[in-house]
Structure 1
Amino acid sequence: MNSNISRRSVIKNIVAGAVALNIPTGLSAAEKSLNTTIKHQKMKGNINHSVARWCFSSIDLETLCIESKKIGITAIDLLGPAEWPIAKKHGLDSAMCNGAEINLVDGFNDPKFHEILIKKYTEMIPMVAKAGYKNLICFSGNKRGKTDEEGWTNCVKGLQALIPLAEKHNVVLIMELLNSKIDHKDYQCDTTKWGVELAKRLGSENFKLLYDIYHMQIDEGDVIRTIRDNHKYIGHYHTAGVPGRNEIDETQELNYGAIMKAIVNTGFKGYVAQEFIPKNPNKIDSLRKAIEICDI
C-alpha cells in the first residue's frame, strides 16, 4: 500500500467532512473470533497508548474504539471534529486532532497559504479546547525551492499569529517530522534539527514536534540519542516498522522496546501512537502485539 497516498486521502476526507459513520466493521473472521476471547489487557502505566485512525480505516471507528480499549489503548490519533463524539462515547481521548491543515504539502513555510491556514486554525483551536483535547497537528509543507532559512522565517511568521490563541486555550500546535527520502519528497520539516530550530525560534510551550520514529529512522537514524537530546521539544510520538511502514515486530529493523524505554526515561507523559499499516489480515492482532512490544 502506498502509505503516502493513503494518509493524504484520509486526511483530505476528514478535512472535507466526509466521515463515514455507518460502514461495515471490516473485521475478518479471525478478528471477530479474537474479540470473544481477548479481555481487557492490564497496562504497566509507563506509556500512554494511542492508534492512528487512518492505518485501520478498513475497520469502522466504533469497532476500532471498542477493540482498542480491550487492548489497553486510551486514545485515537488523527480524528477530526465529526469523529470526536464516537471516541468520547467510548471514553477515549483524541490524542492528536486534525482538520485545520490544508494537506501535507501546503503548509506554514509558504506565505501564500498563511491566510487560509490562520483562518482554519483560529477556528479549530477553540474547538479542540472545548472538546477537552490538547494537541492539534500542523505541517511545514514542501520546500518548492525554499532554503532552510526561508522555511523557518515563513513558518515563524505564520505560526506566531496563532501561538497567543493556542496559549490562551492551552492547545499545543504540533508539527510532524516526515521523511523526504521515501514517502514525502521535498517536505521541509524532514529532520529533528530543522524542527527543533523552528521550535527554538517560536519559543513557546504551545508549539512542539511530532517525532515520527519511522520517518526519522529513514531520514536521520540515531533514534534514541536524538530523543534523549531533543525530548523537550517533542510533544507526541508515532511508530511504524522500518522498512515498509508495517508491523513493529521482529520483521523490521528497530528495537521498539529500547526506544520506548528511552522515551519513558525522558519523563515524557504524552501519547505514543501506533501508525503502522498492518500486513497481517488480523489487523487487531497486529495492533495488540504492537502495544505489547511498546508497553514497557
Structure 2
Amino acid sequence: MSNVNRRNALKNIIAGTAAIGVSSGFSVLAMDKVEPNSTFGKLKGNINHSVCRWCFSGLDVETLCVEAKKIGLKGIDLVGPKDWAILKKHGLESTMCNGAEINLVDGFNDKQFHETLIKNYSAMIPLVAEAGYKNLICFSGNRRGKDDETGWANCVEGLKQLIPLAKKHKVTLVMELLNSKVNHQDYQCDRTSWGVELCKRLGSENFKLLYDIYHMQIDEGNVISTIKENHQYIAHYHTAGVPGRNEIDDSQELYYPAIMKAIHDTGFKGFVAQEFIPKNEDKIASLKKAISICDI
C-alpha cells in the first residue's frame, strides 16, 4: 500500500484503539443487527471476500459496511476495536484485526520495541477473541542494519512470549509480507522465504503470514508457485494491481482469476481482502468489479 497513506491510517486506528482503552467493558454486541438489501449477484462461495478499510477511507465505516454487505463480503480488514460494534451490527467480521502494532517500521525484529509490543498484544489478543475474531496483524519492522539471522532471532524472542496467550484465545498472529523495493524500503519481512523461516522457527499454528500479492509480485514474482509451495504458512491474502496499487483489472499485469484458483486449490478457508487504491471516482463500482474478478 501507499507508505504515507497506510502509516496515516494506522496512526488513526491506533489512536482510536487507545481512546477506548482495554478496560472499556467491550460492547460490540450493543447495536441491533441490520439486514441489507443485496443488489449484487450471488457469489460462488469458493473465496471468502473482504476489503481493507483504509483503501476506502473516504467512506465512513457505516457506509462501507452497508456496501460491503450488499456485495456479499464477509468482513472488513484492518479494523480495530472502536469500530467492531458497527461491523457486528451489519453481520460482518473484522477479518484482520489491528491496533496492537506500533507502526510498520518499529516491529518485532528490534528488541527495543518488545516491551511496548508485548504489552499491546497482550491486551489486544483477549479483545480479539472476545469479539469472536481470529486474526491479529503484526509486522517485522525495518532492518536498520540487522541481518536476517538477527531479525529472525529477535522476532522469535518477542513473539514466543505471545504465542501461549494467542493459543489460549485461539487467535493467530499474522505477519504481513511487504515489498521493500517500492513502498516500504528497508522492511525486513519482504520475502516469502523470510517469513516462512520465521514460521518454522516459531513452530506454532498461532503464527502465520499475510501474503500480499501486490507486494510479493514486486519483490519476488512467481506468485502462483510460491503460494502452492508455502500455503501452509499463509493465513490471509491481500490484493492490488501491479504496478500502481490500483484496480486489479486489465490495466495491470497480474491475472487474478488464476491466482484465486491457485489459492482455492490449496484448500484455503481464510479471507482474501481487496487492498487496492481505487482510481475510479465510483469506488464501490471498482470494489464490485474486483470481487467479480476474484470470485472464481
TM-score with structure 1 setting the length? 0.93
Aligned to 1:15: 14
Aligned to 2:50: 50
Cα deviation, residue 41, structure 1: 2.5
Amino acid at match of 2:10: I
Equivalent-residue separation in structure 1 for 2:205 and 2:47 (angstroms):
21
Alpha-carbon contact 1:41-1:70 (below 8 Å) kept: no
Q: How does 1:213-228 map to 2 (within 5 A)?
A: 213-228=213-228
Equivalent-residue separation in structure 2 for 1:199 and 1:237 (angstroms):
16
Q: Deviations over 1:246-276 (max 9, x none)?
A: 0000000000000000000000000000000
Equivalent-residue separation in structure 2 for 1:229 and 1:63 (angstroms):
39
Equivalent-residue separation in structure 2 for 1:16 and 1:39 (angstroms):
35
Aligned to 1:243: 243
Amino acid at match of 2:2: S
Equivalent-residue separation in structure 2 for 1:3 and 1:216 (angstroms):
15
Alpha-carbon contact 1:52-1:274 (below 8 Å) kept: yes
Equivalent-residue separation in structure 1 for 2:208 and 2:104 (angstroms):
17
Aligned to 1:155: 155
Amino acid at match of 1:207: F
Equivalent-residue separation in structure 2 for 1:72 and 1:292 (angstroms):
11
- Secondary structure at the aligned position of 1:16 is classed as helix
Q: Deviations over 1:162-216 (max 9, x none)?
A: 0000000000000000000000000000000000000000000000000000000
Cα deviation, residue 18, structure 1: 7.5
Equivalent-residue separation in structure 1 for 2:105 and 2:250 (angstroms):
33
Amino acid at match of 2:164: P
Alpha-carbon contact 1:40-1:69 (below 8 Å) kept: no
Q: Deviations over 1:18-46 (max 9, x none)?
A: 89xxxxxxxxxxxxxxxxx9714311000
Aligned to 1:294: 294
Amino acid at match of 1:187: Y
Aligned-residue Cα RMSD (Å) equals 1.4
TM-score with structure 2 setting the length? 0.93
Matched-pair identity in %? 73
Aligned to 2:167: 167
Q: Which moved more, 1:9-18 or 1:124-133?
A: 9-18
Q: How does 1:1-296 map to 2 (within 5 A)?
A: 3-17=2-16, 39-296=39-296
Alpha-carbon contact 2:38-2:69 (below 8 Å) kept: no
| Structure 2 unaligned residues grouped into runs of 5+ | 19-36
Amino acid at match of 1:12: K
Cα deviation, residue 4, structure 1: 1.1
| Structure 1 unaligned residues grouped into runs of 5+ | 20-36
Equivalent-residue separation in structure 2 for 1:248 and 1:71 (angstroms):
17
Structure 1 residues 118 and 178: alpha-carbon distance in aligned structure 2, compared to 1, 3 A threshold: same
Equivalent-residue separation in structure 2 for 1:217 and 1:72 (angstroms):
27
Alpha-carbon contact 2:179-2:216 (below 8 Å) kept: yes
Alpha-carbon contact 1:108-1:117 (below 8 Å) kept: yes
Q: Which 4+ stretches in 1 moved above 2 angstroms?
A: none
How many residues align? The count is: 279
Equivalent-residue separation in structure 2 for 1:240 and 1:58 (angstroms):
18
Amino acid at match of 1:289: K
Alpha-carbon contact 2:76-2:94 (below 8 Å) kept: yes
